[in-house]
Amino acid sequence: GFMKSIEILVMVVLGGMGSVPGSVISAIVLTVLPEALREVADYRMLVYAIVLILVMIFTNNPQLKAFFGRVKDRFASKKEVAADAQ
């Protein structure tokens, strides 16, 4: 139905439209989230909307993109050092 279509759209948007691993992770999170919020099931779609808005705000922020890029580079360089040590 319509609600399932919206749920799938939210999973794809939260995970990243061009990122299959991101979409899979967001699908897992959005599948587990209703179970965690079972007591407040009436607000599930409200929580989805709030999370979606926050993700859009944070992912469109150039400063946050630069920060996450630096974090990613730092972890990548640590992996290379660990691989070279073996």
CA 54/CA 65 separation, integer angstroms: 14
- The tens digit of pLDDT for each residue in 5-31 reads 887 887 777 777 777 887 788 888 878
Number of C-beta neighbours around residue 34 at 10 A: 15
pTM as predicted = 0.52
Of 2, 20, 54, the closest CA to residue 11 belongs to 20
Retrieve residue 47's tokens. 């929580």
The reported pLDDT for the residue numbered 82 is: 60
Q: What end-to-end distance do the CA atoms of the chain give, in Å?
A: 52
The reported pLDDT for the residue numbered 83 is: 60
